[in-house]
Amino acid sequence: MAINLSKGQKIDLRKTSGESLTNFCVGVNWGAIETKGLFGLSKKIQNIDLDLSCILVDDQNAICDHLYSPLYRVEVLQQFGLPKGKLETVEGALRHTGDDLQGDSGGDDGLDNEIITVDLTKIRPNVSQIFFFLNNAGSEDFSQIPYSKIRMYEGTPTRVNSVFASYNVSAEGQYVGKQSIIMGKLYKRNNEWKFSAIGDPTDDTFLGQTIHRIVKNYL
């Protein structure tokens, strides 16, 4: 049975069989904003472009690799001292499926919009933390978005074999004016990987601000 995480909860990456979870997907699913027209006879769908990203941090608390959209403008990233976006880490341990520019319409389809595949056996020994976060490329805040969820599961980007853990972020008052969320992190302790559900909304309007925030406040 999948673990339903709550904010601040930490879990070991061990399956019920006792085996360590080493190959899995981290997926994020979210909904487009749907509003009904006059007398409910029509429906307007507002696409939502969220971006799932992650940074890898070494045991000296320095960023040593990253995954975020190559569509981010290089000149803007450079203002934050960040390199161009990419969809695969140096050693191939993490891979991103690419941008979803819309979100689900017509309700939750049960599939993840953006996914990062993880192979912990390929991660360099000096990597100690991997932070996952969401940024809205538009102007909507998270209180307007129907839902956003993160889950860890065994399978592939197109097939879910077994969900290990899930963490639901609902549209709540605390998300008014917030356009990014630090979702959670993988971290290594005593040479074992664990996961922490962070779930902190922020005022950031750009990915570079979120990365600087993580470096300043979460390391």
Are the beta carbons of 55 and 204 closer than 8 angstroms? no
What's the mean pLDDT in 176-196? Answer: 91
Q: Is residue 40 over pLDDT 70?
A: no
Q: Which residues contact 198 (CB under 8 A, 6 or more apart)?
A: 7, 8, 182, 183, 184, 185, 218
Please tell me the distance from the alpha carbon of residue 180 to that of residue 193, in angstroms, as a whole number: 25
What is residue 149's predicted lDDT score, i.e. its pLDDT? 84
For tokens 């664990």, the residue is 194
Q: Which residues contact 12 (CB under 8 A, 6 or more apart)?
A: 192, 194
What is residue 1's predicted lDDT score, i.e. its pLDDT? 63
Strand-pair category, 43-46 with 159-170 = unpaired
pLDDT band per the 50, 70, 90 thresholds, residue 7: confident
Mean pLDDT of the residues in the chain: 88
pLDDT tens sequence across 46-67: 888 889 999 999 999 999 999 9
pTM confidence score: 0.90
Please count the structural domains in the chain.
1
* Domain, as residue range, for 62: 3-217
Using DSSP's 3-state secondary structure scheme, residue 22 falls into coil
pLDDT tens sequence across 82-114: 999 999 999 999 999 998 877 877 767 778 999
What's 18's domain CATH number?
A: 2.60.60.30
Query: 101 φ, ψ to 5°?
Result: -95, 5
Please tell me the distance from the alpha carbon of residue 78 to that of residue 75, in angstroms, as a whole number: 5
